[in-house]
Amino acid sequence: MPAMRPLDPAFPMESQLAIEAAPIVLVNVFTLDKVDEPTFLRAWEDDAKLMKRQPGCISIQLHRAIGEGATYLNYAVWESTAHFRAAVTNPEFVAKLSAYPSSAVASPHLFQKVAVPGICVA
């Protein structure tokens, strides 16, 4: 199971999951030892396949940082906090967390789009 390090320690994932919002974006930064990348990628792919089947999952993407380090960014769009909460508490998902390498550290956070006139819409 990856260690969890909140992106914002003042407002960890447990607090975010209690807020009803829609739609939401999960941003999860993973750091790990370079030697563990193949194991991480297999575990992440297995999780992503499960999540794509969950109600409310709109899209999932994985990005690797440029350079020599082993840093990844998972970006997932969900219809609502309620859908995401149901997915991450699903016993099948929880069981899959043990497949991640011990060096993996996850820093997840939920976001909502912000409307900025003339630049982006909410």
Q: Tens digits of per-residue pLDDT, 79-97?
A: 999 999 999 999 999 999 9
Contact 99, 36 (CB under 8 A): no
The Cα–Cα gap between 59 and 62 comes to 11
Q: Tens digits of per-residue pLDDT, 11-59?
A: 999 999 999 999 999 999 999 999 999 999 999 999 999 999 999 999 9
Strand order through the sheet with 105-111: 3-4, 105-111, 24-31, 71-78, 57-64
Please give the structure tokens belonging to residue 120.
């982006």
pLDDT at residue 118 in the model: 93
The pLDDT of 59-76, averaged and rounded, is 97
pLDDT category at 121 given cuts 50, 70, 90 is confident
Contact 23, 78 (CB under 8 A): yes
Burial 53-88 (b: 16+ CB within 10 A, else e): ebebbeebebeeeeeeebebebebbbeebbbbbebb
Residue bearing tokens 């909140």: 6
